[in-house]
Amino acid sequence: MNDSPSRDKIYLQYALGTRHYDLAFEQSPLTLGRSLDCEIPIEHRTVSRKHARLEWRGNRWWLVDIGGRNGTLLNHHKVKEAPMPEVGTITLGAITIKAWVRADKETTEPATPPSTPLPGQSDPKSNEPLTIASSIPADQLKYLLRGKKHPTGEAAPSLKSLLPPEDPHAKDSATHFAWVMELFDQVATALLSSPDLHDLLKKILEVVFHNLPVQRGAICFQDEEGIYQAQEVLTAKHISETGMRISQTICKKVAESKEAILVYDVKSHQQFSAVTSLVQDQTASVMAAPFFHEGKVHGIVYVDTQNSFTPLHDNHLMILTTLATLASVGVAQAQLRDHIQREQSIRSRLERYSSPTIVDQIVAYEGKHEFGHAQAQDVSVLFSDLCGFTTLAENLKPEDVADFLCLIFDRLTRIVFEYSGTVDKYMGDALMAIFGAPLEQPQHPLLAVQAAIRMREEIEKINQELNISNKIAMRIGINSGRAVVGDIGSARRQDYTVIGDTVNIASRLESSVAKPGQIAIGPSTYKAVEEWMVCQKLDAIKLKGKSKKIRPYLVLHAKSESALHLEDSSLSEESRELSDTASQSWDSLRKQLEIPLNPDTTKKGNE
Task: Say how far residue 511 (Cα) sits from the centre of its chain.
Answer: 45
How many domains does one find in the chain?
Answer: 3
- Cα–Cα distance measured from residue 423 to residue 412, given in angstroms and rounded to the nearest whole number: 10
Quick one: 302 and 389 in the same domain?
no
Low-confidence stretches of the chain (pLDDT beneath 50) = 1-4, 105-137, 144, 146-150, 154-172, 273-274, 367-368, 567-586, 589, 591-607
Distances (CA, A) of 510 to 71, 381, 473, 507: 85, 11, 13, 5
Helices (H), 81-238: 141-146, 174-193, 197-211
Length of the chain counted residue by residue: 607
Q: What pLDDT does 358 receive?
A: 59
- Considering the domain architecture, whether residues 556 and 461 belong to the same structural domain is answered as yes
Residues 452 and 572 in one domain: yes
Pairing of strands 519-521, 473-489: parallel
Q: Are residues 331 and 388 in the same domain?
A: no
- The rounded distance, in Å, linking the Cα atoms of 355 and 403 is 22
Amino acid at 503: V
Cα–Cα distance measured from residue 149 to residue 139, given in angstroms and rounded to the nearest whole number: 12
Asked, for residue 355, whether it belongs to a domain, the answer is no
How many CB atoms are located within 10 Å of the residue 216 CB?
23
Q: How far apart are CA 488 and CA 485, in angstroms?
A: 8
| 286 and 386 share one domain | no
Residue 211 belongs to a domain with what CATH number?
Answer: 3.30.450.40
Identify the pLDDT of residue 130. Answer: 37
Clarify whether residues 81 and 213 are in a common domain: no
| 3-state DSSP assignment of residue 290 | strand
Q: What is the pLDDT of residues 162-195, one digit of tens each?
A: 444 444 334 445 555 566 667 777 788 777 778 8
Chain centroid to CA 578: 36
**pLDDT value at position 249?**
84
- Whether the CB-CB separation of 292 and 327 falls below 8 Å is answered with no
Give dist(CA 406, CA 413) in Å, integer: 10
Residue 601 lies in a domain: no
Over residues 113-165, the pLDDT tens digits come to 433 333 333 333 333 333 343 444 455 555 545 444 445 554 444 444 444 44
Q: Is residue 347 part of a domain?
A: no
Residue 16: CATH number of its domain: 2.60.200.20
Q: Is residue 359 part of a domain?
A: no
* 573-593 and 444-466 helices, crossing angle to 10°: 30
Q: Are residues 520 and 400 in the same domain?
A: yes
Residue 438 sits in the same domain as residue 582: yes
Point out which residues pair with 97 in neighbouring strands. Answer: 90
3-state secondary structure of 520: strand
pLDDT of residue 259: 86
Domain that holds residue 163: 134-339
User: How many other CB atoms are there within 10 angstroms of residue 164's CB atom?
Assistant: 19
The separation between the first and the last C-alpha atoms of the chain, rounded to the nearest angstrom, is 109
Give me the DSSP letters along 342-375: HHHHHHHHHTTTB-HHHHHHHHHHBTTB-TT--E
Alpha-carbon gap, residue 76 to 96, rounded angstroms:
10
Q: Is residue 602 part of a domain?
A: no
